[in-house]
């Protein structure tokens, strides 16, 4: 696949954008003074058109100068009053929602922590954050946003790598109070409110299954903190994917609050275009998915296993072997191959007995043919296997599942805050193995002297990806894809614009640009929407499904009320794939 209209963007440009947003922080962080509240209220007035959010960095706060005439000053004062009145009315609109959901406003204590999620490459200053507890409250919040021309942004698990689930001048509709999971063991389905984090979904399904004597789970990802909202919108690659596909393939129906604040039922019969789009077509684009019914799978036994290789001396040979064998291996087997400076390791997830896996790895994989390879395996029940996946592969093998359930809310001082990080990741999709010289370049990147976090992670395709058609839903990466990679680096916990501008941060950006350039030599132009990067073009996420997504967007949200920097637009953006 080649992009006809190339739109590769400059990574350095992204640095300046990030910094300009972050520049707000030193002035606003943690201060609840009336002046700051007034500034935030004034910013809200600047919203230019229907559904538009506020770009704080590019919108100056009105100020009077020495040459201002009395008439102009009075006019300015009057406008400020109107602005304050309008912002107060917006807040009142949210506060009057029936049942009184929690509302957080600029200038109130810890607002920055409520306003921003777990991936903080960019800090935002939204006009408000609301935590609805029911679908009518979501509808009412959308109505307030539309009435006051404020952009509504849904937030699920708050893990967007580009901080897309918050926005300057926007209304963040945080669904984390809506995390109920209702399991119907007989029907083999779970109806899940879309603020749920995946760990809590797995746990609820598991408990319901155990009480009926079954080992049940659903498709998903690896990290328990990830929200079902963003994961479904991206597709959702996880430990069962080579056998059953992605999470989006297992959604049977969903309810969506659209830009007119209606609740739309979507499934194969009802609003099928919207149903197509919300499964892998990108987050925050077509409305707010408030609930979905998910198909369950029974997993009688799982073997989790780990192969560790210290150092990078054999990494090129090993990676050559991995990319040739893993995509054609039995679909019961799913892999995560990690390549870091200290060495590489493979986490294996096998739907079957330990003895079978041992035989497969010893006799057919060729993955143990490298000096120092250490292979360990253990059988778990399905929740224990989730617990193991969420930890480091190098840790002692165990089936402990006490890390699977996670707090729903990101709260100041809360447990999830320890995961807050400014990391920079991107995806790459491969239809051919990376040649030896490419693998050597990757190892050279890992060995290059800058002392920063560097990860190349690889997930094998094949199996179910070869049999589910690319048009089944919006997730397009199917037959012919052999693996995807997530690669990136981290700034650590970014506190201020000064830190992001520091020379160490420049080293991080520079490394990321070099890593991307190497990957782009060997990867296709396609990208996976789970690892969004402002350096991507939105068409790259959806391949041949892009035109259908634009049509759905035009039909259900022609005014582009729900949008972000990487959402499918209703018109324009006509980059197409050959
Ligand atoms: C540590 C880590 C591990 C990961 N592991 C995996 C993995 O194993 N497999 C995989 O496929 N991906 C993985 N990802 C990527 C993950 O799928 C994306 O980051 C995903 O977008 C996160 O969803 P969220 O709900 O947590 O984030 P959010 O930031 O809340 O949402 C992401 C996007 O979806 C939108 N959105 C959220 N909820 C809704 C909703 N209800 N309706 C409409 N739009 C909504 C948001 O507006 C935003 O645009 C991982 C990410 C991290 C940080």
Residue from 160, 196, 242, 465 to probe ligand 1 pocket by mutation (most atoms less than 8 Å from CB): 160
Q: What is the CATH number of domain 181-298?
A: 3.30.465.10
Give the pair of three-digit tokens for residue 420. Answer: 């807050």
Quick one: pLDDT at residue 565?
A: 97
Mean pLDDT of 563-578: 74
Residue spans of the domains in the chain: they are 31-174, 181-298
Lowest pLDDT segment from 41-55, 218-232, 278-292, 306-320: 41-55
CA angle 245, 534, 255 (to 5 degrees): 45
CB-defined site of ligand 1, < 6 Å: 117, 119, 153-161, 164-165, 175, 194, 221-223, 226-227, 229-231, 233-234, 236-238, 283-284, 288-289, 530, 564
CA-only gyration radius of the chain, Å: 24
Residue from 115, 220, 229 to probe ligand 1 pocket by mutation (most atoms less than 8 Å from CB): 229
Three-class SS state of 344: strand
Mean pLDDT of 527-536: 97
Could you give the percent of the chain with pLDDT greater than 70? 85
> How far is 149 from 53, CA to CA, in rounded Å?
8
Quick one: pLDDT at residue 406?
A: 96
Lowest pLDDT segment from 159-173, 184-198, 218-232, 487-501: 487-501
Question: 417 pLDDT exceeds 90?
Answer: no
Ligand 1 centroid vs 157 CA: distance in angstroms?
Answer: 6
pLDDT per residue as tens digits for the range 100-138: 999 999 999 999 999 999 998 888 999 999 999 999 999
Tell me, what's the ipTM?
0.99
Burial annotation 264-297 (CB, 10 A radius, 16+ → b, else e): bebbeeebebbbbbbbbbbbbbbbbbbbbbbbbb
Ligand 1 centroid vs 234 CA: distance in angstroms?
Answer: 7
* Ligand 1 atom at minimum distance from 226 CA: 26
Ligand 1 centroid vs 560 CA: distance in angstroms?
Answer: 21
Quick one: pLDDT at residue 117?
A: 94
| pLDDT top residue among 414 and 232 | 232
Mean pLDDT of 530-556: 98
Three-class SS state of 545: helix
Quick one: pLDDT at residue 491?
A: 83
Mean pLDDT of 161-167: 97
Whether 530 and 427 have beta carbons less than 8 Å apart is answered as yes
Quick one: pLDDT at residue 573?
A: 56
Quick one: pLDDT at residue 52?
A: 35
Average pLDDT, the chain: 87
Q: What is the CATH number of domain 31-174?
A: 3.30.43.10
Question: 39 pLDDT exceeds 50?
Answer: no
Mean pLDDT of 530-544: 97
Question: 8 pLDDT exceeds 80?
Answer: no
Quick one: pLDDT at residue 15?
A: 29
Minimal CA–CA distance to 389: which of 234, 127, 199?
A: 199
List of E strands, 110-188: 128-131, 152-155, 171-174, 181-184
Quick one: pLDDT at residue 227?
A: 98
Quick one: pLDDT at residue 68?
A: 53
Confidence of residue 61 (pLDDT cuts 50, 70, 90): very low
Quick one: pLDDT at residue 500?
A: 64
Instruction: Give one DSSP letter per residue of 481-516, joined into a string.
Output: --EEEEEEEE--S--SHHHHHSHHHHHHHHHHHHHH
Q: For residue 209, give the H/E element and its range.
A: helix 198-211
Ligand 1 centroid vs 253 CA: distance in angstroms?
Answer: 19
Quick one: pLDDT at residue 358?
A: 97
Ligand 1 centroid vs 181 CA: distance in angstroms?
Answer: 18
Lowest pLDDT segment from 41-45, 56-60, 132-136, 483-487: 56-60
């Amino acid at each position: 696949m080649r992009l006809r209209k190339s739109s590769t963007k400059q990574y350095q440009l992204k640095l300046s954008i990030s910094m300009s947003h972050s520049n707000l922080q030193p002035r606003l962080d943690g201060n609840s003074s009336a002046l700051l509240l007034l500034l935030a209220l004034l910013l809200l007035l600047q919203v230019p058109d229907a559904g538009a959010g506020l770009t704080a960095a590019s919108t100056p706060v009105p100020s009077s100068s020495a040459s201002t005439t009395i008439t102009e000053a009075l006019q300015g004062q009057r406008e400020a009053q109107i602005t304050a009145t309008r912002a107060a009315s917006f807040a009142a609109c949210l506060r009057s929602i029936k049942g009184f959901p929690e509302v957080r406003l600029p200038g109130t204590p810890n607002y920055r922590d409520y306003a921003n999620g777990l991936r903080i490459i960019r800090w935002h200053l939204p006009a408000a954050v609301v935590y609805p507890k029911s679908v009518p409250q979501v509808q009412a919040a959308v109505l307030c946003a539309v009435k006051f021309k404020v952009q509504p942004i849904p937030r699920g698990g708050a893990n967007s790598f580009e901080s897309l689930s918050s926005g300057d001048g926007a209304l963040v509709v945080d669904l984390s109070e809506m995390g109920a999971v209702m399991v119907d063991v007989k029907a083999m389905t779970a109806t899940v409110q879309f603020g749920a984090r995946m760990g809590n979904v797995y746990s609820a399904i598991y408990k319901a299954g155990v009480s009926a004597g079954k080992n049940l789970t659903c498709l998903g990802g690896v990290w328990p903190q990830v929200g079902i909202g963003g994961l479904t919108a991206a597709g959702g690659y996880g430990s069962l994917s080579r056998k059953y596909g992605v999470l989006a393939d297992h959604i049977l129906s969903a309810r969506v609050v659209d830009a007119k604040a209606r609740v739309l039922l979507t499934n194969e019969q009802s609003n099928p275009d919207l149903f197509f789009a919300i499964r892998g077509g990108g987050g925050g684009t077509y409305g707010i998915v408030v609930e979905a019914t998910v198909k369950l799978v029974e997993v009688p036994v799982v073997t989790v296993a780990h192969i560790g290789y210290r150092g990078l001396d054999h990494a090129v040979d090993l990676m050559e072997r991995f990319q040739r064998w893993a995509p054609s291996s039995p679909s019961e087997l799913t892999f995560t191959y990690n390549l870091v400076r200290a060495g590489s390791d493979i986490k294996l997830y096998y739907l079957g007995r330990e003895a079978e896996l041992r035989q497969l790895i010893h006799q057919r994989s060729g993955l143990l043919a490298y000096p120092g390879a250490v292979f360990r395996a253990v059988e778990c029940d399905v929740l224990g296997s989730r617990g193991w996946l969420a930890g480091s592969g190098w840790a002692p093998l165990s089936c402990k599942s006490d890390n699977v359930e996670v707090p729903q809310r990101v709260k100041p001082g809360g447990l999830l805050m320890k995961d807050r990080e400014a990391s920079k990741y991107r995806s790459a999709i491969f239809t051919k193995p990376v040649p030896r010289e490419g693998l050597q370049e990757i190892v050279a990147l890992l060995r290059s002297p800058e002392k920063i976090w560097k990860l190349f992670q690889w997930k094998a395709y094949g199996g179910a990806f070869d049999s589910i058609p690319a048009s089944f839903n919006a997730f397009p990466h199917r037959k012919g894809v052999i693996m995807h990679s997530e690669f990136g680096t981290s700034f650590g916990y970014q506190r201020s614009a000064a830190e992001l501008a520091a020379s160490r941060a420049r080293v991080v950006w520079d490394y990321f640009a070099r890593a991307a350039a190497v990957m782009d030599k060997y990867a296709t132009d396609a990208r996976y929407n789970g690892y969004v990067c402002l350096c991507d073009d939105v068409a790259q996420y959806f391949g041949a499904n892009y035109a259908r997504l634009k049509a759905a967007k035009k039909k259900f949200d022609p005014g582009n009320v729900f949008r972000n920097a990487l959402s499918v637009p209703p018109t324009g953006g006509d980059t197409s794939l050959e």
